[in-house]
């Protein structure tokens, strides 16, 4: 067990957490547990936390577990920090009352943050304007497309003056450790890290996703370079001949490399990456289909629709969002 430490100011620092319906449990728990463990390792009440919901009723997490809260949104006030905890479907909820409360709190000096896709709430309320921010890696492109004026980074977390945002999963742990270090001292944060068996405090500039080699289960450096070029050029696709030249191979050698390791031609693999991004934008942004097509490297909506239909067995308009798809479409997906 970690040695007791007593660094940092002794006054209790209260953090408010607002739970949006279908919030991600792991990100929420990461925030609370870091605060609790700071109290544990110091044997002092350095932190307290209060949970809020729209009406004070329990909120169900994405895993189906209901979480009781302390008070309704109307009583969320006089807090130095507030964290918005959200999950998939955040864009379908009316956040006007929450946004109004957060704006009011921020004018009185409250620092406002989020975990997972809670950044969408802050962005919708204009609370991230002029600040660097991040969200779960699956939604970074969506956040950029929806709010093009924002500086959205794909880092683990971001703390920019009075705003703080973290990606999904355990990224909230690293953000909270950084905040605890700034509030109560590095030794407290280090002791919490130890108790969590977290091994190290990851820096804000570390990337959210695992290394490409681990994701694909391959180690060939030229193939990894080729896939990285594809993933980095979805809006303006490179020709396969350009990719081959960049990694020092002929087009035929590139095809052999993809066939041997990934089981398909490089052009088809590249199309799959672009269509996967397109599906995500269709389901989670209000962008017109033509704009989605252009954002994924297609010159026309007709070419995009045909390619999309051939790949997913459903048209872009039918696949606009899970809630709007017809029963026939859902049946086709299940059958596939």
Name the token pair of 29: 């728990």
The answer to whether 23 and 53 have CB atoms below 8 angstroms apart is: no
User: Which 8-state DSSP code applies to residue 116?
Assistant: G
Query: Are 17 and 52 contacting, i.e. CB atoms less than 8 angstroms apart?
Result: yes
pLDDT tens by residue, 89-144: 898 899 999 999 999 999 999 999 999 999 999 999 999 999 999 999 999 988 99
The first and second tokens of residue 108, run together, are 């009185």
**Measured distance CA(178)–CA(193) in Å, rounded:** 11
pLDDT at 331 over 50: no
What DSSP line would sit under 237-293, residue for residue? PPPHHHHHHHTT--HHHHHHHHHHHHSS-HHHHHHHHHHHHHHHHHHH----HHHHH
Identify the residue whose tokens are 């130095």.
80
Return contacts of 72-78, CB within 8 angstroms, 24+ apart: 73/18, 73/97, 73/98, 73/101, 74/101, 76/16, 76/18, 76/50, 76/52, 76/101, 76/105, 77/105
Reply yes or no on whether the pLDDT at 10 is more than 50. yes
Residue with tokens 């672009």: 274
Query: What SS3 class is residue 44?
Result: coil
Residue 210 has pLDDT above 90, yes or no: no
Do 62 and 22 contact (CB within 8 A), yes or no?
A: yes
Residue 226, pLDDT above cutoff 50:
yes
Residue with structure tokens 């507030």? 82
Q: Give me the pLDDT at residue 62, please.
A: 95
Closest CA to 169 of 59, 30, 56: 30
Q: What is the pLDDT of residue 336?
A: 44
* 260 Cβ neighbours under 8 A, 6+ residues apart: none
pLDDT at 328 over 90: no
Say what the pLDDT of residue 327 is: 44
pLDDT of 65: 97
Q: Report the pLDDT value the prediction gives residue 177, as an integer from 0 to 100.
A: 97
- Residue pair 1/34 in contact (Cβ under 8 Å)? The answer is no
Rounded-to-integer distance, Cα 113 and Cα 201, Å: 19
Q: Are 20 and 85 in contact (CB under 8 A)?
A: yes
Token code pair at residue 172? 């909230």
First to last CA, the chain: 50
CB 167, CB 157: distance < 8 Å: yes
pLDDT confidence band for 333 (50 / 70 / 90): very low
The tens digit of pLDDT for each residue in 250-306 reads 999 999 999 999 999 999 999 999 999 999 888 877 789 999 999 999 999 999 999
Find where tokens 């999309």 sit: 308
**pLDDT of 208:** 86
Looking at residue 320, its pLDDT comes to 84
Q: By three-state DSSP, how is residue 202 classified?
A: coil
d(CA 17, CA 69): 9
Q: Is the dihedral of CA 97, 99, 100, 101 positive or negative?
A: positive
CA 175, CA 166: separation in Å to the nearest integer? 6
pLDDT at 40 over 50: yes
Asked whether the predicted pLDDT for residue 239 surpasses 50, the reply is: yes
pLDDT tier for residue 18 given thresholds of 50, 70 and 90: very high
pTM comes to 0.80
Closest alpha carbon to 171 in 59, 90, 85:
85
- Given this model, what pLDDT does residue 1 score? 42
């Amino acid at each position: 067990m970690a040695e007791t430490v007593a660094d940092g100011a002794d006054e209790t620092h209260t953090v408010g957490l607002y739970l949006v319906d279908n919030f991600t449990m792991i990100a929420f728990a990461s925030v609370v547990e870091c605060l609790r463990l700071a109290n544990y390792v110091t044997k002092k009440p350095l932190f307290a936390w209060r949970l809020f919901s729209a009406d004070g009723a329990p909120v169900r997490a994405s895993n189906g577990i209901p979480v009781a809260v302390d008070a309704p949104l109307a009583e969320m006030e006089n807090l130095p920090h507030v964290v918005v905890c959200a999950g998939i479907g955040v864009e379908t909820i009316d956040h006007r009352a929450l946004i109004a409360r957060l704006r009011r709190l921020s004018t009185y000096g409250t620092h406002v943050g989020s975990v997972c896709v809670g950044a969408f709430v802050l962005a919708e309320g204009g609370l991230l304007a002029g600040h660097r921010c991040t969200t779960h890696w699956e939604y970074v492109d969506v956040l950029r497309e929806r709010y093009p004026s924002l500086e959205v980074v794909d880092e683990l977390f971001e703390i920019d003056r009075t705003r703080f945002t973290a990606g999904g999963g355990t990224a909230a742990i690293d953000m909270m450790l950084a905040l605890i270090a700034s509030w109560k001292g590095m030794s407290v944060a280090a002791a919490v890290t130890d108790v969590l068996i977290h091994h190290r405090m990851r820096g804000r500039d570390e990337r959210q996703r695992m290394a490409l080699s681990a994701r694909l289960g391959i180690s060939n450096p030229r193939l990894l370079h080729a896939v990285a070029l594809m993933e980095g050029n979805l809006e303006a696709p490179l020709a396969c001949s350009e990719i081959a030249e960049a990694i020092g191979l002929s087009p035929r050698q590139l095809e052999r490399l993809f066939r041997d390791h990934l089981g398909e031609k490089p052009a088809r693999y590249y199309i799959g990456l672009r269509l996967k991004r397109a599906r995500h934008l269709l389901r989670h942004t209000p962008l017109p289909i033509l704009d989605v097509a252009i954002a994924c490297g297609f010159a026309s909506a007709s070419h995009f629709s045909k390619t999309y239909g051939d790949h997913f067995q459903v048209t872009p308009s039918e696949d606009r969002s899970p809630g709007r798809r017809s029963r026939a479409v859902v049946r086709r997906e299940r059958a596939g």
